[in-house]
Amino acid sequence: MKKRKLGTQTLGSLALFASIFFGACKKDHQNDRTWSVYKADAKSSNYSPLDQINISNVSHLKPAWTFAMKDNAAGTRPSQCNPIIVDGVMYATSGSQRAYAVNAETGEQLWSFDPFDGKESGGEVNRGLTYWESGDDKRILFTANNNLFALDVHMGELIPSFGSAGKVDMRIGLRDTSEDIYVSSTSPGIIYNDLIIMGCRVPDVYGAQPGYIRAYNCFTGKLVWTFHTVPLPGEPGYETWSKDACKVVGGVNNWAGMSLDKKRGMVFLALGSPSYDFYGTDRKGENLYGNCVLALNAATGKHVWHFQTVHHDLWDYDLPAPPNLVTLKRDGKDIDAVAQITKQGFVFVFDRETGEPMFPIEERKVPASNLPGEHSSPTQPFPVKPRPFARQWVTEADLTNYSDADHDSLVKKFRSMRYEGLFTPPDLKGTLQLPGTRGGGEWGGAAFDPATNFLYIKSNDAPDLITIIKGDQAKASSESASKSGQSSQLGTIERNAHADQYLNSTGYKTWKDPGGNPAIQPPWGTLHALNLSTGEYEWQIPLGNDKARQVKGAPETGQEGKAGPIVTAGGLVFISGTDDKKLRAFDKSTGKLLWKTTLPALANATACSYQVKGKQFVALSVGGTSENPSGFIMAFALP
């Protein structure tokens, strides 16, 4: 394993690093750690307590520095990292899963670490890393593919006493033991005392591994506890599956991240759906802990409470973002709570200690499946309040009309499919899904402002078409595509398919007309301010603009985007992620646009805000360009 590369550093820059790291403004120590955890803090608040940049001066915001990563030879890669900043040093990962330490004041590289020893990474998504310290022992913990690495923060070198020569293989300890197991970690782990608690990403295919939650010792890398998200015989929840489903069913993983209440010693997780996502004959029942907000004892991994947001998921309605730990005001009292956004466009709010809903939730009847062997849940949970933040119903009148031919094509398709609103099951005649697999809330998550109790949410209206085919059809389609030199949309699914299995051949793709235009009328992306104490929305505005498709005199169109908002004590909401390549700042009270800038590429990542030597910065990861495929980190500050 190749150690870090120092690049063009000089002894002077190393001395500067040491000065920053060990001597930086001790009286301002807390402000140097205002964004030292993924999504700001252990509560996943996406909140900055800094107010130097505020509503009165944000219009003067200028680029402060740009750090260009140079670790990818060809082909742009998305950069989705939310950097963390500790004592004047920024730590981040690139779209190629390399780790970097950067002077957070100047953007100068301090060190980098290549976990692949110069080889290609495979392009897995990595959204951040984790800082841990115990006395003088300070480490960066991060993942690349199936390995969890421990690096010394001073030079970016592997710590040999951690795991096996500085790394832990996360394939070990899952259900099966094989080098062919696929596992990675999309979002970074979270620290509780001397434990790093890890979720993982596993494939959404038949035969995938279950996404167990695991805690490792930060000193040694030793596995301390495991929570079986697909319960084993004798464990609570086993009865909600087909017998022995735990031997074959995968998924139910925490890929979106987690939150921690250190005082209570509780970790809160957002779990994904069981695999296979769109057909569940081998997993009859409600399928705990699929699609659950799950609270565990952080020290032991023991179950505390859970709430399932989708029973027997057939739509890939994973919980897409970590729960926000929030404090609400009710009848003059502060109540600690958990707020969870969903792909369906719901916000579920629970008492943090008990899991009791803070707003009523009703079990309502939903359409039944017609697929052979499928037993869909007869009901699903619907929060009575807050109302959905994304569209959950579409009619023929909502279809776009960019040309007569395009419109006629949409109408014909719409009339041919099964569509009975939210939770219409996959069907052999095809199903319209709204919100889609990338609709509603996304992995950028929500931002919570403790001063106002407002939760800021970015949503997408991105309908999918579910096209169900049998396994033998999938194999034939894959072979035909291979012979003709075309890529198959089915990915690895058809390679694992059997003739009696059903597959979705058109998932994860927004429905568009033959001309490439969105199938439904705008807005396609919206930013919301929700008062969590009352359950009412304070404002809602389109976010992003497709100028080519904006009707003259009409509001902006809004655009799809996965990045989340951040909110600051300076009265601002910052957000990027839209296809127009903008970073914007809004008045958090009114939604008024106060500042925007055009970035060199799509910034499909949530921003951060931090302070060094009394100066506040706003920074974010930006995707690659043809000139620099590896992408950038860009920081902004007042002149």
**Interval 609-623 mean pLDDT:** 97
In 3D space, the residue among 83, 78, 142, 154 whose CA is nearest the CA of residue 114 turns out to be: 142
**pLDDT exceeds cutoff 60 at 411:** yes
Among the ranges given (45-54, 231-240, 499-508, 550-559), the one the predictor scored with the smallest mean pLDDT? 499-508
**Model pLDDT, residue 471:** 79
| 87 touches 628 (CB < 8 A) | no
Q: Quote the CA–CA distance of 636 and 639 in Å, as a whole number.
A: 9
**Model pLDDT, residue 500:** 75
Is 429 exposed, middle or buried, given 0-12, 13-18 or 19+ CB atoms closer than 10 A?
exposed
**pLDDT exceeds cutoff 50 at 26:** no
Q: Quote the CA–CA distance of 465 and 455 in Å, as a whole number.
A: 30
State phi, psi for 408 to the nearest 5 degrees.
-60, -40
- Read off the pLDDT band of 24 (50, 70, 90): very low
**Model pLDDT, residue 8:** 40
**pLDDT exceeds cutoff 70 at 579:** yes
**Model pLDDT, residue 91:** 98
Q: Quote the CA–CA distance of 391 and 344 in Å, as a whole number.
A: 8
| 67 touches 632 (CB < 8 A) | yes
pLDDT in tens, 364-375: 999 999 999 999
Query: What are the CA-CA distances from residue 143 to residues 82, 94, 170, 187, 432 (Å)?
Result: 14, 12, 9, 9, 36
In 3D space, the residue among 413, 311, 314 whose CA is nearest the CA of residue 370 turns out to be: 314
- Read off the pLDDT band of 179 (50, 70, 90): confident
Q: Quote the CA–CA distance of 279 and 376 in Å, as a whole number.
A: 9
Q: Quote the CA–CA distance of 525 and 542 in Å, as a whole number.
A: 6
Q: Quote the CA–CA distance of 304 and 296 in Å, as a whole number.
A: 5
Q: Quote the CA–CA distance of 547 and 578 in Å, as a whole number.
A: 13
**pLDDT exceeds cutoff 70 at 244:** yes
DSSP label of 477 = H
Cα Rg, the chain, nearest whole Å = 24
**Interval 207-215 mean pLDDT:** 97
**Model pLDDT, residue 626:** 87
**Model pLDDT, residue 331:** 87
Q: Provide the residue type at 528 as one letter.
A: H
Is 244 exposed, middle or buried, given 0-12, 13-18 or 19+ CB atoms closer than 10 A?
exposed
CA dihedral of residues 280, 283, 284, 289 (deg, nearest 10): -110
**Interval 621-638 mean pLDDT:** 93
In 3D space, the residue among 139, 136, 121, 246 whose CA is nearest the CA of residue 184 turns out to be: 121
State phi, psi for 18 to the nearest 5 degrees.
-60, -40
Please write down the HEC assignment for all residues of 497-557.
CCCCCEEECCCCCECECCCCCECECCCCEEEEEEECCCCEEEEEEECCCCCCCCCCCCCCC
pLDDT in tens, 71-128: 876 667 778 999 999 999 999 999 889 999 999 999 999 999 999 998 876 668 899 9
Share of the chain above pLDDT 90, in %: 84
| 92 touches 104 (CB < 8 A) | no
In 3D space, the residue among 176, 448, 426, 194 whose CA is nearest the CA of residue 314 turns out to be: 426
Q: Quote the CA–CA distance of 391 and 472 in Å, as a whole number.
A: 35
**Model pLDDT, residue 262:** 98
- The SS3 assignment for 496 reads helix
pLDDT in tens, 500-551: 799 999 989 999 999 999 999 999 999 999 999 999 999 999 999 999 999 9
DSSP label of 387 = P
DSSP label of 424 = P
**Model pLDDT, residue 597:** 98
**Model pLDDT, residue 16:** 46
Q: Quote the CA–CA distance of 325 and 440 in Å, as a whole number.
A: 20
**Model pLDDT, residue 27:** 44
Q: Provide the residue type at 217 as one letter.
A: N
Please name the residue that has the structure tokens 């998550």.
445
pLDDT in tens, 428-437: 999 999 999 9
**Interval 616-629 mean pLDDT:** 93
Counting Cα atoms < 13 Å in the Cβ hemisphere of 282 gives 20
**Model pLDDT, residue 474:** 61
Q: Quote the CA–CA distance of 530 and 358 in Å, as a whole number.
A: 15
**pLDDT exceeds cutoff 60 at 7:** no
Share of the chain above pLDDT 70, in %: 90
Angle at 439 between CA 434 and CA 445, to 5 degrees: 145
- Read off the pLDDT band of 15 (50, 70, 90): very low
State phi, psi for 59 to the nearest 5 degrees.
-65, -15
Q: Which two tokens stand for residue 31?
A: 């402000």
Sign of the torsion formed by the C-alpha atoms of 450, 453, 454 and 459: positive
Q: Provide the residue type at 392 as one letter.
A: Q
Query: What are the CA-CA distances from residue 342 to residues 29, 141, 292, 388, 488 (Å)?
Result: 36, 28, 11, 10, 29
Mean model confidence pLDDT for the chain: 92
Q: CA 387: distance to chain centroid?
A: 22
**Model pLDDT, residue 490:** 45
In 3D space, the residue among 99, 96, 220 whose CA is nearest the CA of residue 156 turns out to be: 99
Q: What domains does the chain contain, in order, with CATH numbers? A: 11-467+506-637 (2.140.10.10)
Q: Quote the CA–CA distance of 343 and 310 in Å, as a whole number.
A: 11
Is the backbone peptide bond immediately before 383 cis, with ω within 30 degrees of 0?
no
**pLDDT exceeds cutoff 80 at 380:** yes
Counting Cα atoms < 13 Å in the Cβ hemisphere of 195 gives 21
Contacts of 238 (CB under 8 A, 6+ apart): 231, 232, 246
Q: CA 86: distance to chain centroid?
A: 22
**Model pLDDT, residue 72:** 74
- Read off the pLDDT band of 475 (50, 70, 90): low
Q: Quote the CA–CA distance of 303 and 294 in Å, as a whole number.
A: 8
Among the ranges given (27-41, 300-314, 534-548), the one the predictor scored with the smallest mean pLDDT? 27-41
